[in-house]
Amino acid sequence: MSRARVARRIAAGAAYGGGSIGLLGVAAVGVLLAEMQLAKRTVGDGAAPLPPGADGLYGRAFGTEDPLRLALLGDSTAAGQGVRRSGQTPGALLASGLAAVAERPVVLRNVALSGARSDDLERQVSLLITQPLGPPDVCVIMIGANDVTHRTAPTESVRLLSAAVRRLRTAGVEVVVGTCPDLGTIEPVYQPLRWLARRASRQLAAAQTIVVVEQGGRTVSLGDLLGPEFAANPREMFGVDNFHPSAEGYATAAMAVLPTLCAVLGVWPEADRLEPARHENMLPVAKAAAEAAREAGTEVTGARAPWALLKHRRRRRLPVAEGAAGATSEGVGEGVAKRPASGAADTATAAETPAN
């Protein structure tokens, strides 16, 4: 069965209350359990530091009036576990990048929780939409890896994500979802578990894309968050626990998400028109989801139902959040704001490279 058909079945099962769709045959269970025990001895062997707090105001030199409000939800990837400096977290990187592109201050709030699965999204969304200042302007969600490793039924995982996106969109919030990363690229995991992890990850990512687009959000494939660039440079791209990304890894992921984050707010300099030379296309949403799951950095956004736009936006360098080490949230904001002009110039004029 094609990945598009499997993704559609999972999404349909989530919508109509279907049960779990098994990804593995019974004959594979014994081998899988043995491989899982071996992987547990090697993955996470290093002590990953707790994610540093990065909430606060970014782009202070653009003023403090009428800031954009950005929120991050999800698991340890969204929280930034594995790095020690606030400015190295995906939230800080995205907030400083958004401030530079929009030339407006950005207030960041991160409610992501290390170890979270999709069933924690309801709590995280409630924290955001009930806050005194009201819901944020835009949310970035990164979720799915723990659902795969804890064998959450994919239909249940997708149903919970769909409900979270629907609540945010009903509250007037723009939503960008970084879909489930490809767990088959984790270095200490061996075959056949590596193949099984890749298959489960990509199937979940494709199903996530379908339900997010149907709820009015956009997705960016993080299937290769731990992918080609990570596989080529695992010592640089993985953190000390061999599982979470390093600072370089988070920067790579943030560069993939930033264009879509800016586009959904209408501040990205590129139009939403298709560029065939970049292999962009309009496809049925299930097929677009399957294609995106195979290629990192691919954006999927809804068009006229049942069609979706498959885009490969140009990446640009992120502005550097200088002086963020050991800073409070206010200090992080000040560190970012020290170089808004150069940061904006970097974002606007840096050499463009196509998404992987």
- Domains plus CATH for the chain? 3-18+32-346 (3.40.50.1110)
> Does 279 participate in catalysis according to the annotation?
no
3-state helix, strand, coil in the chain (%, to 5): 50, 15, 40
pLDDT in the model for residue 192: 66
Query: How much is the pLDDT for 10?
Result: 74
Q: What pTM does this model have?
A: 0.79
Options 55, 114, 221, 244, the catalytic residue: 244
140: three-class secondary structure by DSSP? strand
The pLDDT assigned to 188 comes to 56
Distance CA 126, CA 116 (A): 15
Catalytic, out of 55, 75, 76, 201 = 76
- pLDDT at residue 199 in the model: 83
List all residues 6 or more positions away from 243 whose beta carbon is below 8 Å from its beta carbon.
Answer: 43, 44, 48, 82, 186
180: CB partners within 8 A, 6+ apart: 143, 144, 145, 147, 148, 201, 202, 204, 205, 208, 222, 223
List per-residue pLDDT tens for the chain, 356 residues long: 566 766 777 776 665 555 444 444 433 444 444 454 444 454 444 455 578 899 999 999 999 889 999 999 999 889 998 888 899 999 999 999 999 999 999 999 999 998 899 999 999 999 999 998 899 999 999 999 888 878 888 899 999 999 999 999 999 999 999 999 877 666 555 566 677 777 888 899 999 999 999 999 999 998 765 455 555 555 444 544 555 677 787 888 899 999 999 999 999 887 777 787 778 889 999 999 988 988 888 999 998 878 999 988 877 666 655 333 333 333 333 333 333 333 333 333 332 333 33
What is the model's pLDDT at position 33? 43
Contact 59, 96 (CB under 8 A): yes
Reply yes or no on whether 76 is catalytic: yes
Taking the CA atoms of 310, 224, 230 and 91 in sequence, report the sign of the dihedral they define.
positive
Give the pLDDT of residue 49: 58
Pick the catalytic residue from 241, 272, 279, 346: 241
In one-letter notation, the amino acid at residue 246 is S
Q: Which residue, among 132, 148, 139, has the nearest Cα to 111 in the 3D structure?
A: 139
What the block records as the tokens of 33 is: 């359990």
Alpha helices in 215-264 (DSSP H): 228-232, 234-237, 247-264
